[in-house]
Amino acid sequence: MSDPRPDTRICVARIGAAHGLRGEVRLNAFTADLLAVTRYGPLQAEDGKRAFEIETWRQGKGFLVVRFKGIADRNAAERLCNLDLYVARERLPAPEAGEFYHADLIGLRAVTASGSDIGTVVAVQNFGAGDLLEIAPAGGGVTLLLPFTEAIVPKVDIAGGAVTVVPPRETDGDESPS
């Protein structure tokens, strides 16, 4: 499969709070392998004007503690908090079958199995219990959060620009659990 978005940069991490006094920060990696982010070379800020090279790292529980070259004290580290870091797509491995970069999903149309337009994927969220597609409804209004599971999203067609969504059955409040 050819890459439909070759120029895309992928957000691979977010800098968290300063850690200690010598310029270290918590680094929350968005990669399946937490340590993969240490192998991609310099990481860029969203504006592309600043690059950050990991000088040292150690693993925490679900995050990394890193020191970037040129960041030597807590004050400098604190200024980086909540900064998203990106890597050029060509430096990343191709996703395996059934895996997708979030950047590939954002902007796709969300349609029903019959082709009716539901809206557009505007984000992929994860609050700890798995990925959720955030969909802006075609008619406007509050965004929908749907589990990004095979049951709810049985088809992802990146080349075709759409995801097929089977919304969970709604209850009207009159039903009691069995």
Q: Which residues of 130-162 are buried (b: 16+ CB within 10 A; e: fewer)?
A: ebbbbbbeeeeeebbebebeeebbeebebeeeb
- Enter the pTM of the model: 0.70
Domain locations in the chain as residue ranges: 9-91, 102-164
Q: Which residue carries 């600043």 as its tokens?
A: 50
Whether the predicted pLDDT of 160 surpasses 80: yes
- What class, spelled out in words, does domain 102-164 have in CATH? mainly beta
Map residue 138 onto helix, strand or coil.
coil
- What class, spelled out in words, does domain 9-91 have in CATH? mainly beta
pLDDT digits (tens, 9 = 90+) for 134-158: 999 998 899 999 999 999 999 999 9
